[in-house]
Structure 1
Amino acid sequence: MKKYWFEILLVLTFVLSAVGHYGHWNSTLEFIMSAISVVFVAGFLGKATESVAHYAGQRLGGFLNATFGNAAELIIGIMLVRDGHFDMVKASITGSIMGNLLLVLGLSLFVGGLKYKIQNFNVTLAGLNGSLMILAVIALFIPAIFLQTHAINNEDKNMISLVVSGILIVAYLLWLVFSMVTHKKYLADVSVDTDEELAHEHAPVWSKGKSILYLIIATVMVAFVSEWLVDTLDTFTERFGLTEIFVGAFVVAIVGNAAEHSAAIMLALKNKIGASVEIAVGSSLQIALFVAPVLIFVSHIFGRPMDMVFSVIELAAIGVAVFIAKSITQDGSTNWYEGLLLLAVYAILGVSFYLV
């Protein structure tokens, strides 16, 4: 029975979430059930993706991980865009970047540092990831600055949003080519060894056909649960007097990233801090360079264009998160106190967002 506890809870929470949604339960209870269900479904999706990636090989496997790694956040974002919750979408993007760089990375460095005095990882990969995050910050700052200074008007902001989004997607796809094809050996001293160790330790328990089937089922489940969760957000925010920016930046972001949070922390406890850093920073890159731009294009498909102009508060939060994360990871070694510094910044931003 203990062996199947995850599967039992996955089905149970999904069914209860469905019953709550279609049975019109109390909105708060419905939100809680949907949030818990998202966590388990995201975990199921992660397991299925890892299993398919094992059979697909390193190159295609890396692409699958990049595509499905943030599926929950992407689908939740699409549902929010469809319903016109643009402020919450931008807040959730902000929260995902902050959450990964400050909360996930901070907890990983902290718990790993408590067990191991000093932990080391690939400094070259960390430097490249940091440069990509700075690119994302620049891409988010430029439309906001040009609009605020009236260098462009409201009609042009949608155009610049589409152009910037297209550039970021291309930059992200080329990063996949760079890191997994042309310069795979250049980054292999730590990252590839870690991948091989993880593949050996976590050999798939499902066959190739079953893995693909479960990946499809997990994606469909994420789509349903995400829609149920989004449908409760309006009532939930009004009942507790919360702002869309706080719910998006902290509640939605933490729920959508829950599976990755636990994976990064467990790897840090196994002295695989390099893998933890790649999960935390890599997920932030996916959000900034792929998920956010894709949502811009999706909004135009829905006929409700969303721009890429973030608020001053959101830009400041992203800028601060990238700055301190890059500062701490640039030397290739970490300790528990550096993790504590990241958590302190996350707490400061959390209180500030709550009071907005």
Structure 2
Amino acid sequence: MKKNAFFIMLIVTFALSGIAHYAHWDMIAQFAFSAIAILFVAGFLGKATESVAHYAGQRLGGFLNATFGNAAELIIAIFLVREGLFDMVKASLTGAIIGNLLLVLGLSMLLGGIKFKQQHYNVEAAGHNATLMIMAVIGLFVPAVFVTSENFSVRKDEILSLSVAGILILSYLLWLIFSMITHKDILADEQAPPDHGEEPAWSKRTSVLYLITATVMVALVSEWLVGTLDTFSARFGLSELFIGAFVIAIVGNAAEHSAAVMLAMKNKIGAAVEIAIGSSLQIALFVAPVLIFVSTLFGQTMDILFTPIELTAIAVAVFIAQSVSRDARTNWYEGALLIMVYLILGIAFYLV
């Protein structure tokens, strides 16, 4: 019954969002319907990836969930890049990184920790995740410092941005080879409890079909949503920074929220951490660099220079997330701390 109600709401909100867009309703109404629709579409994406994860295993499943969960952010960002809204793109990437590290991981630890006093996952994976998070900060921090302090020309800025983007993508691809092929046994989550005969929501073929369908739906709703952002931000006096870093990020992270929290409450904190931290790493090491190359295809290269505010937010999120996750043990209090840091950043971004 609940599943039928979800699919009815999914279809209704998606249809209303499409009607609002193509019938040229008031922009605020378009924004509202698109934002609600993308929550249900992202939830559908989360359910599909969780079902696929059942067949693929927890680690690969967590990676797939993070990848398809990031489809919303990537697709929204591509439309923003096409419109030349580079500042909003960077803000949305910042929001996606801190949203996953603080809000998604925080909620997972909090709700999972309330149900289970202490949860454990692979300590090797925790250590490598911490190192990769620092790598991501270095990749975003170094260009900003050098270009600003040395007053690089536009050409040098482009060369540095494209070079760093290529190196970050290579680093991420090497991590996939390391974690999924050469060292997958070492990084396997041995702490994960058995499924006890739990059946996936759908068959393997249906799960893959739904995954593709959900991704297409995310692409459509994302395009409708992006078209309303200028009017929405102007109407309510919100900065592009706040819209990108919190509104778009929270909406786009809906898939990760639902899947990670659900897994944590099943005592599968390893998969939840893989989704939250893995998603942030994917944004910083793969999605952001890919967008640099995508912008070049559109005729104007977006640099990889994040503002001091954005870099500070990312560094703070990485620092606290690394601190609470490095020992591969979690509890509800650590989750609460992550959420508190997210609230601090949210208030600061709102006042910009």
TM range (shorter): over 0.9
Q: How far apart, CA to CA, are the structure 1 residues paired with 2:346 and 2:340?
A: 10
What TM-score do the two structures reach when normalised by structure 1?
Answer: 0.92
Amino acid at match of 1:203: P
Amino acid at match of 1:31: F
Pair 199,141 (structure 1): closer, same or farther in 2 beyond 3 Å: farther
Q: Residues 187-226 of structure 1 correspond to what in structure 2 (within 5 A)?
A: 187-190=187-190, 193=192, 197=194, 201-208=198-205, 210-226=206-222
Q: How far apart, CA to CA, are the structure 2 residues paired with 1:64 and 1:189?
A: 16
Q: How far apart, CA to CA, are the structure 2 residues paired with 1:102 and 1:347?
A: 9
Note the C-alpha offset of 1:58.
8.4
Counterpart of 2:4? 4
Note the C-alpha offset of 1:14.
0.5
Q: How far apart, CA to CA, are the structure 2 residues paired with 1:124 and 1:91?
A: 31
Pair 51,199 (structure 1): closer, same or farther in 2 beyond 3 Å: farther
After TM superposition, the structure 1 stretch with the greater mean CA deviation from structure 2, 231-240 or 4-13, is 4-13
Amino acid at match of 2:278: G
Counterpart of 2:270? 274
Q: Does 1:304 align with 2:300?
A: yes
The alignment partner of 2:40 has SS state of helix
The answer to whether the Cα contact below 8 Å between 2:66 and 2:275 also exists between their aligned partners in 1 is no
Counterpart of 1:149? 149
Counterpart of 1:169? 169
Q: Does 1:81 align with 2:81?
A: yes
Q: C-alpha root-mean-square deviation of aligned residues, in Å? A: 2.2
Note the C-alpha offset of 1:66.
5.5
Could you list the per-position Cα deviations for residues 87-125 of structure 1 after superposition, in whole angstroms to 9, with x for gaps in the alignment? 110001000110111111112212222222222221210
Pair 56,118 (structure 1): closer, same or farther in 2 beyond 3 Å: closer
The alignment partner of 1:201 has SS state of coil
Q: How far apart, CA to CA, are the structure 2 residues paired with 1:72 and 1:188?
A: 28
Q: How far apart, CA to CA, are the structure 2 residues paired with 1:131 and 1:183?
A: 16
Note the C-alpha offset of 1:348.
0.8
The answer to whether the Cα contact below 8 Å between 1:267 and 1:275 also exists between their aligned partners in 2 is yes
After TM superposition, the structure 1 stretch with the greater mean CA deviation from structure 2, 319-328 or 63-72, is 63-72
After TM superposition, the structure 1 stretch with the greater mean CA deviation from structure 2, 59-68 or 245-254, is 59-68
Counterpart of 1:250? 246
Could you list the per-position Cα deviations for residues 266-291 of structure 1 after superposition, in whole angstroms to 9, with x for gaps in the alignment? 22222222222111101101111111
Could you list the per-position Cα deviations for residues 324-354 of structure 1 after superposition, in whole angstroms to 9, with x for gaps in the alignment? 1101111121222211211111111111000
Note the C-alpha offset of 1:146.
0.4
What TM-score do the two structures reach when normalised by structure 2?
Answer: 0.93
Amino acid at match of 1:179: S
Unaligned runs of 5+ in 2: none
Note the C-alpha offset of 1:265.
1.6
- In structure 2, which of residues 285, 288, 292 is the aligned counterpart of residue 289 of structure 1? 285
The answer to whether the Cα contact below 8 Å between 1:102 and 1:325 also exists between their aligned partners in 2 is yes
Note the C-alpha offset of 1:21.
0.6
Q: How far apart, CA to CA, are the structure 1 residues paired with 2:199 and 2:2?
A: 19
Detail structure 1 runs of 4+ shifted over 6 Å in the superposition: 56-63
Note the C-alpha offset of 1:64.
4.8
Q: Does 1:314 align with 2:320?
A: no
